[in-house]
Each structure stands twice: as structure tokens, then as C-alpha cells.
């Protein structure tokens, strides 16, 4: 194993996650939380878990119908959840969403943001079917929708989180402000020929790396800051519905929303976890039982060592990560086709 003991202190590494520790969800009581993309899928699963822990949650999503339905269902149970419609690709729209969360919170503050809004990608095979044989026909511009939502949208969310963490901080805040990025295992290895999604998820990881050690970024007088990242495998949600049969045919198990919720709750509730990336793997027996710390730092060789070990021991499927060659049945580029060449969302 390569040693890092000779590295200067700027090559900072934080403590690996202790998965044996119990998750104490009471730490979230009355916390002011935003979940972008919280109307569906894994975002909605986390909204429910945060609500059950007694937090005040604002769901920010473009899907008004599902967002309102989720907020109403949880409010009827006595939890504190509101929905505000946003388009994550608009800074003004997200700003209005963040302000509504602060108004909704019991102490006019913001404590935790989970950035889960996202779109799937479009396989590159689908692009090339549109090449015209007419010599002077110009190409149409490719859709940037996936990059706009997954990367630019998340950049806006990260910016607004830091801004409002600082602006609404109260003297004597005991717990640190917390920003959780939802990337993907596609932010670690190639999702074969799905360039837009792959690029967006590597981009999210890059953004997280840039601030993962910035514990003092909210100022000397301000509260502490921590940021962590979740990198799920394929999870059974509407995003994967179209490709699920293909994945199962390849023997690839999908994770469940509860596997993600288990990872996110561990991060959210344990103040000692800072600057860590957690992989969400499909469970063996219980929700989250195969999740692991990616070691995405100098000591972990930028997650390379853990990822490879987990492929070798069967926790992750190598095909799930690297796809297969052009033209064979494992060609990932053929799975992400969208309808009429559009992005599947
Ligand atoms: N499902 C998976 O296999 C998987 C794996 C790894 C990472 N992820 C990531 O997890 C996140 C959630 O995915 P999911 O599987 O729950 O998908 P999902 O489609 O169920 O949920 C995504 C949510 O994002 C919202 N959204 C999309 N565009 C938006 C916009 N412009 N503004 C605001 N909201 C918008 C959607 O309305 C939806 O509610 C995404 O970032 C996704 O890339 C998912």
C-alpha cells in the first residue's frame, strides 16, 4: 500500500466513515433542510427520512404535481414539509426556492442542503444515427439538458447553500452547516458512451473536491461547514425504469431508494463525517449494508483502490461501471436512447 505519511499537511485527508456507529436521527430535529429534486426517486426518499426525524424540509423541484403530493402526504402525517417549484437551471428560480425555505424554517435559517435534482443522459450511439448523408447538411446542436441540470444547476445550488448558510447563521450555532452532493458511481468510472451524464457527475465530484476541506469557509465567526458526497450505483427509480430490464438481463442488481437514504442519513446525522464520499451499493440483506467509504482522497488514491477492490469482491459489478464494447450486447451506448432521441428524464 503506498504511504502518504511524507505528504505536506495541505494534502489533507479526513477520517474514513465508521459504519458501525448508530445513526442518531434526533440530531435533525427542527433543522432547516432543502432537497433539490425531492419530488421523486431518491430525493423523495430522503425527504421522507428527514421529515420523520423532525426536520423542516423544503422540496425544490420542477415536478409540481409530485412535489405537492409528497408535501401534502407528509404534512397530513404531522411532519413539516413544503413544496416550492423551481427550475434548477435558473439561478433566479433557485434563489426564490432557497428564500422560501428560510421563511419556512422555525429559526429563519438554513442548515442542510441535499442536491439531488438530475436527469439521465443520452447515449452517443443515438447521436450518430442522426448524421445526414447530405454533404452540406449541418449538425443540430446536441442537447445540453443533462449538463444544465446536473452540473450547472448543482453549481447554483452549491453557491446558494454557502451564501445562505453564512447569511442566516446564528451566533452560537452548535452544529455545522452541511452540503451533500449527489454524484454517482458514474462520477468515478466510465459510464460507457453516455458522455453528458458521465461529464456532469465527474463535474459534481470536482466541485465537491474543491470545497471538501473548507471547514472554515463561512468565516471565523461563522458556524463550521462540512460537505460530503453520495455516489449511488443504479437505483430503482423512474430514472432507471427504461434500462432496468437490460441491467437485470446482464445480472446487475439495482439498489433501492432505502440504500441511498441509509447513506444520506448517516452523513446527515454524524457531525464527525466531513469531506467523505460514500458509495451506495445494492444491498445484500438490509438497506445500506453494502455502502462504503470510497476513500476519495490522497490516501485512497482518489477512490481507485476501493472501487477496484469492490469490483473484485463483487460488491459492485464491473460491467455496471465500465460498460462493454460497441456492437455487443453489453453496449451501454444503446441503453440510454431516450424517446425520439431526447433525454430520458
Ligand atoms: N437512479 C439512479 O440509478 C441514480 C444513480 C446514481 C445517481 N443518481 C442521481 O440521483 C439523483 C436523483 O435521481 P433519481 O433516480 O431519484 O431520479 P428521479 O428522476 O426519480 O428524480 C430526479 C428529480 O429531479 C427533478 N428535476 C429534473 N430536472 C429538474 C430541474 N430542471 N429543476 C428542478 N428539478 C428537476 C425531477 O423532477 C425529479 O423529481 C440524480 O442526480 C441522479 O443523477 C441516480
- The answer to whether residue 76 scores a pLDDT higher than 50 is yes
The DSSP result for 89-107, as a single string, is T-HHHHHHHHHHHHHHSTT
**208-232 per-position pLDDT tens digit:** 999 999 999 999 888 999 999 999 9
Evaluate: CB of 323 within 6 angstroms of ligand 1. no
**82-137 per-position pLDDT tens digit:** 999 999 999 999 999 999 999 999 999 999 999 999 999 988 877 788 888 898 99
Rounded distance between C-alpha atoms, residue 18 and residue 341, angstroms: 44
- Please list the alpha-helical segments (H only) found in 77-222: 91-104, 124-128, 145-147, 154-167, 195-211
More confident residue, 324 or 140: 140
Rounded distance between C-alpha atoms, residue 151 and residue 118, angstroms: 9
**283-308 per-position pLDDT tens digit:** 999 999 999 999 999 888 999 999 98
Looking at domain 25-130+142-334, what is its CATH homologous superfamily? Answer: NAD(P)-binding Rossmann-like Domain (3.40.50.720)
**235-284 per-position pLDDT tens digit:** 999 999 988 888 888 788 899 999 999 999 999 999 999 999 999 999 99
Query: What is the model's pLDDT at position 40?
Result: 98
Order of strands, edge to edge, in the sheet holding 177-182? 80-85, 56-61, 32-36, 112-115, 177-182, 225-232, 277-280, 292-293
Confidence (pTM) = 0.94
Name the residues annotated as catalytic. 183, 197, 201
The domain ranges of the chain are 25-130+142-334
Take atom 23 of ligand 1 and give the residue whose Cα is closest: 37
Evaluate: CB of 149 within 6 angstroms of ligand 1. yes
Evaluate: CB of 157 within 6 angstroms of ligand 1. no
Amino acid at each position: 500500500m503506498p504511504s502518504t505519511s511524507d505528504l505536506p499537511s495541505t494534502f489533507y485527508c479526513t477520517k474514513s466513515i465508521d459504519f458501525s456507529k448508530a445513526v442518531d436521527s434526533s440530531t435533525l430535529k427542527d433543522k432547516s433542510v432543502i432537497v433539490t429534486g425531492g419530488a421523486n426517486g431518491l430525493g423523495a426518499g430522503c425527504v421522507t427520512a428527514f421529515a420523520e426525524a423532525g426536520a423542516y424540509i423544503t422540496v425544490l423541484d420542477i415536478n409540481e404535481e409530485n412535489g405537492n403530493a409528497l408535501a401534502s402526504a407528509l404534512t397530513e402525517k404531522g411532519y413539516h414539509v413544503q413544496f416550492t417549484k423551481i427550475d434548477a437551471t435558473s439561478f433566479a428560480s433557485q434563489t426564490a426556492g432557497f428564500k422560501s425555505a428560510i421563511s419556512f424554517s422555525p429559526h429563519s435559517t438554513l442548515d442542510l442542503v441535499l442536491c439531488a435534482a438530475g436527469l439521465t443522459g443520452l447515449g452517443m450511439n443515438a447521436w450518430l444515427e442522426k448524421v445526414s448523408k447530405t454533404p452540406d447538411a449541418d449538425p443540430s446542436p446536441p442537447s445540453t439538458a443533462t449538463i444544465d441540470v446536473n452540473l450547472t444547476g448543482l453549481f447554483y445550488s452549491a453557491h446558494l447553500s454557502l451564501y445562505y448558510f453564512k447569511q442566516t447563521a446564528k451566533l452560537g450555532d452548535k452544529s455545522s452547516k452541511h452540503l451533500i452532493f449527489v454524484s454517482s458511481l458514474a462520477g468515478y468510472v466510465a459510464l460507457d458512451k453516455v458522455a453528458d451524464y458521465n461529464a456532469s457527475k465527474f463535474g459534481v465530484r470536482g466541485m465537491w473536491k474543491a470545497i471538501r476541506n473548507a471547514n472554515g469557509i463561512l468565516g471565523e465567526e461563522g458556524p463550521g461547514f462540512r460537505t460530503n458526497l453520495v455516489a449511488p450505483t443504479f437505483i430503482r427509480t423512474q430514472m432507471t425504469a427504461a434500462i432496468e430490464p437490460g441491467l437485470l438481463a446482464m445480472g446487475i442488481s439495482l439498489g433501492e431508494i432505502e440504500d441511498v437514504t441509509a447513506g444520506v442519513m448517516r452523513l446527515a446525522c454524524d457531525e464527525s463525517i466531513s469531506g467523505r464520499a460514500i458509495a451506495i451499493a445494492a444491498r445484500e440483506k438490509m438497506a445500506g449494508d453494502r455502502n462504503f467509504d470510497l476513500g476519495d482522497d490522497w490516501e485512497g488514491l482518489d477512490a481507485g483502490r476501493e472501487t477496484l477492490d469492490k469490483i473484485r469482491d463483487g460488491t459492485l459489478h464491473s460491467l455496471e461501471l465500465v460498460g462493454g464494447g460497441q456492437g455487443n450486447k453489453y453496449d451501454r451506448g444503446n441503453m440510454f436512447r431516450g424517446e425520439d432521441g431526447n433525454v430520458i428524464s
